[in-house]
Amino acid sequence: MRIDTVDTDILILGSGGAGLFAALHALQTDPDLDVTIAVKGLLGKCGCTRMVQGGYNVALAPGDSVERHFMDTIEGGKWLPRQDLAWALCLFAVERVQELENEIGCFFDRNRDGSLHHKAFAGQTFDRTVHKGDLTGIEIINRLMEQVMARPVRRLEDHRAIDLIPAKDGSGIAGALLLDIRTGTYRMVRAKTVLLGTGAGPTMYKYHTPSGDKSCDGLAMALRLGLPLRDMEMVQFHPTGLLGGPDTRMTGTVLEEGLRGAGGYLLDGAGRRFMADYDPRGERATRDVVSRGIYAEMRAGRTGPMGGVYIEMKHLGPDKVAAQFPGMVKRCADCGFDLAGDRVEVVPTAHYMMGGVEFDPDGSTELPGLYAAGEDCGGVHGANRLGGNGVANSTVFGGIAGESMARYASRRKSPADPDPAAIDAAIERAERPFGLPRGAGLADLRDALAKCMWDDVGVMRTADGLRRGLSRIADLSGALANAGLADGDRAFNLTWQDWLNLDSLLAVSTVIATAALDRDDSRGAHFREDYPETGDLLASAYTRIRAPDGAAPSLERVPVAFTRVRPGESLIEDEVLGGDAP
């Protein structure tokens, strides 16, 4: 088999906020470097940075501070975040937002006096979310895309990564083997340094919000390479995903948080408001609490015809709702629902993975030359992510990684020689479906995984359910290994891509369930019905999992190092957290 080879200094996998910032900062650090971005679809159009609605958390408003942003992040993450990462997030968010405005060209919303507008967002003690209407991500990614396209960056679009390839001599990373989706052929990109910025995304759940192209490929590749993943049990559910019935891709996409904040009602199938049964704050309780409330109603069978509950806004005045939430109203109308004047059926929906590859504040990972940024990484958010910290995470650490990678690449003459055995193994992996007998349909397998993750590894978990889930995931992995595809025209073969996507999702689902079974307390996004209490915060530990070369996952618990602040303390003067924080 002939494999095309490309040599570059810096290979970036992914073109969201992390990948695009890495490219820009690498070239700013050393303009002579050759930079390549490979992305599964089109540059800037894949992934979730573009889908950001809410905005970008940054301590820029008068009276706010990096310390305050940091404390909210730590408290929101239930003391599980790695504190040097959380600190870097809050500190560099300031520089990054100014860069987005002043250098990249983003035009964030303003107050009347012309200063940046900061909106309130759940779980934060200060109004610090910078935004562009309720479509902040489009503004950020469009402007970033323009800047990258204006520079000499090699674009490998419609290229998916099959595997990260280590050096033959064991010295570190040597590049990545890619599949050119347009032609169906392989391309080996040899690089001095590689960024993993593919954006994770919990799309293995029946209801999920992320971009449909996402399938945890980056995490699956990191696992195979033997890298440690942390906090993988921490999957955030957003309470109000749109429900459109089976076989519609729109199902699961987010109806924004502000609808509840503005006074929207959640009603069961019979039209009764139920959130007060679960929390005195009612519909305005936090994401995790509302998700569990809705899930409990669903499990009790008190649902609408499609199996969800209703969100209702009309008591606020349909015209007012249409004016305040034009994007959400139009989105529902396009699907045939009237959000302003009628009820719309919703479900909790898997939104974000707090866990991921362990990395250091300079973006480096355990493997020399391999860097990581964005949702592929773990440790920044701990047990839960604040709304507005997601895009901050990808852009802050993407930029930092780009600078680190430029320095790393400048010190090296050429890419390392790739391990030929690793390339062979990667190709063999990608070729597997063509050598198999035709088995179960991929759509049915994916639906079965989605149901299993939703039922047994979802909003509320028990040891029995998680064990059942693990066993089911193993069965499905076996079924995929017997689900062959007809060989023929491999160009733009989406069904082959579906097979590879499902392979990644199964590997990462196993890890999520394994970590969730190990964590025998409830905190943040992780809720165990058999262990509903949060354990001793001072004894907090995080889960670390490895599964090299497809081996069964091995897990250890690693104590959290409270390097800046300990539970019960605060960096903010006159305030001790842990009690009734405002």
Partner 1 sequence: MTDTIPVRVWRGGDAGAFQTFDVALRDNQTVLDIVTDIQRRQDPTLSYRFACRVGVCGSCAMTVNGVPRWTCRTHVAKVAAEGVLTLEPLRNLPRLKDLAVDMTPFFDKWQKAGGTFEGRKTRDDAVDPVKPGSRARKAADAAIECINCAVCYAACDVVDWDPDYLGPAALNRVWTLVNDRRHARRSDTLDKAAQSGGCGSCHSQGACMRHCPVGLSPTESIAGLKRALLFSLLGGRL
**How many residues sit in the footprint of partner 1 (CB under 8 A)?**
71
Contact region for partner 1 (CB under 8 A) — 241-249, 273-281, 366-374, 388-396?
241-249
Does 324 participate in binding partner 1 (rule CB under 8 A)? no
Does 133 participate in binding partner 1 (rule CB under 8 A)? yes
d(CA 279, CA 558): 33
Does 99 participate in binding partner 1 (rule CB under 8 A)? yes
Residue placing its CB nearer to partner 1 in the complex, 495 or 563: 495
Residue placing its CB nearer to partner 1 in the complex, 234 or 254: 254
Does 152 participate in binding partner 1 (rule CB under 8 A)? no
Q: How far is CA 21 from CA 18, 26, 96, 410, 504, in A?
A: 5, 8, 10, 18, 26
DSSP states along 132-201: STT-HHHHHHHHHHHHHHTS-EEEETTEEEEEEEEBTTSSSEEEEEEEETTTTEEEEEEEEEEEE-----
CB of 568 to partner 1, least distance (A): 36
Residues 177-196 that bind partner 1 (CB under 8 A): 182
d(CA 533, CA 185): 51
The neighbour count for residue 256, using CB atoms within 10 Å, is 18
Alpha-carbon Rg for the chain in angstroms = 23
Catalytic residue among 68, 230, 260, 385: 260
Q: Is 208 a catalytic residue?
A: no
Query: Quick check: helix, strand or coil at residue 281?
Result: coil
Residues 328-387 that bind partner 1 (CB under 8 A): 331, 334-337
- Among 9, 75, 139, 163, the residue binding partner 1 under the rule CB under 8 A is 139
d(CA 412, CA 427): 28
Q: Is 299 a catalytic residue?
A: no
- Among 441, 548, 559, 568, the residue binding partner 1 under the rule CB under 8 A is 441
Instruction: Evaluate whether 344 touches 337 at the Cβ level (below 8 Å).
Output: yes
Query: Which tokens hold the place of 136?
Result: 């902040």
Residues 16-75 that bind partner 1 (CB under 8 A): 41-43, 45-47, 50-51, 60
Contact region for partner 1 (CB under 8 A) — 135-143, 290-298, 475-483, 513-521?
135-143
Residue 553 one-letter amino acid? P
Does 102 participate in binding partner 1 (rule CB under 8 A)? yes
Does 535 participate in binding partner 1 (rule CB under 8 A)? no
- Among 442, 452, 453, 525, the residue binding partner 1 under the rule CB under 8 A is 442
d(CA 477, CA 493): 21
**Looking at residue 227, what DSSP letter applies?**
-
Residue placing its CB nearer to partner 1 in the complex, 186 or 337: 337
Query: Quick check: helix, strand or coil at residue 392?
Result: helix
Residues 103-122 that bind partner 1 (CB under 8 A): 103-105, 107-116
Query: Which tokens hold the place of 197?
Result: 């910025």
CB of 364 to partner 1, least distance (A): 22
- Among 17, 77, 137, 201, the residue binding partner 1 under the rule CB under 8 A is 137
Residues 458-497 that bind partner 1 (CB under 8 A): 485-486, 488-489, 491-495
d(CA 399, CA 418): 27
Residue placing its CB nearer to partner 1 in the complex, 248 or 471: 248
Instruction: Evaluate whether 251 touches 244 at the Cβ level (below 8 Å).
Output: yes
Q: Catalytic positions, please? A: 238, 260
